Amino acid sequence: MREIDLTKQIDLITKFIKEQLSLAGFDRLIVGLSGGIDSSVTAALCVRAIGSENVHGVMLPYRKSHPDSLGNGIEIANLLKIKYEVKDISPMIDTYFEKYEQDADILRKGNRMARERMCVLYDLSAKYKALVAGTGNLSELMIGYCTQYGDSACAFEPIGHLYKSEVYTIAEKLGLSQNVITKKPTADLWEGQTDEEEMGITYVELDEILYQILDKKKTDSELKILFNKEKIDKVKKMIKMSEFKRNIPPVPVVFQGEQN
**Are 38 and 150 in the same domain?**
yes
In a domain, 79, yes or no: yes
In a domain, 195, yes or no: no
pLDDT over threshold 60, residue 165: yes
**Are 118 and 149 in the same domain?**
yes
Q: Which of 195, 35, 40, 58 is nearest to 121 (CA)?
A: 58
pTM of the model: 0.94
The contacts of residue 243 (CB under 8 Å, 6+ apart) are: 144
Mean predicted confidence (pLDDT) in 94-117: 96
pLDDT at 186: 85
In a domain, 232, yes or no: yes
pLDDT at 154: 98
In a domain, 30, yes or no: yes
pLDDT at 258: 59
pLDDT over threshold 80, residue 256: no
In a domain, 140, yes or no: yes
Alpha helices in 81-182 (DSSP H): 90-99, 106-128, 138-143, 164-173, 178-182
- Compute the mean pLDDT over every residue in the chain, rounded to the nearest whole number: 95
**Are 149 and 233 in the same domain?**
no
pLDDT at 27: 97
* Cα 175 to Cα 181: distance, rounded to the nearest angstrom: 10
Condensed to tens digits (0 to 9), the pLDDT of residues 193-251 reads: 889 999 999 999 999 999 999 999 999 999 999 999 999 999 999 999 999 999 999 88
* Cα 21 to Cα 74: distance, rounded to the nearest angstrom: 25
pLDDT at 173: 96
CATH at residue 91: 3.40.50.620
As a whole number of Å, the end-to-end CA separation of the chain is 52
Number of domains, the chain: 2
Q: Domain span at residue 82?
A: 6-184
In a domain, 105, yes or no: yes
pLDDT at 28: 98
* Cα 6 to Cα 18: distance, rounded to the nearest angstrom: 18
In a domain, 67, yes or no: yes
**Are 174 and 210 in the same domain?**
no
